[in-house]
Chain A
């Protein structure tokens, strides 16, 4: 039971940021595509903006790995 709860915690640590990142990237992506269509020179900035929310999942992944290694 304890292991199951740890696994659930690790899954939530990755899953919730993943949903949040997906939402943020979807919004940024759709607006960014429109911006690039009008101003192709903004491509670099849009890639940067699109990539910024990913850090949430990466940090969630680190937390998940820590949880599993420390407690499982």
Chain B
């Protein structure tokens, strides 16, 4: 718990002080990043389904970046 508290203080310090960092990519320089082709998951209905397929057929699960719930239709 002591370690958790230290980690909390460290992260809080980094993030609070970090908020004053000047952005190295200015808002007007983000044209490429705003292009729809740069989205990690442009179509949630499709990517959620693929996460579900892999969750049901592979032993690993989690950290896909999408949602997860119970039930898989795979009994």
A binds B: no
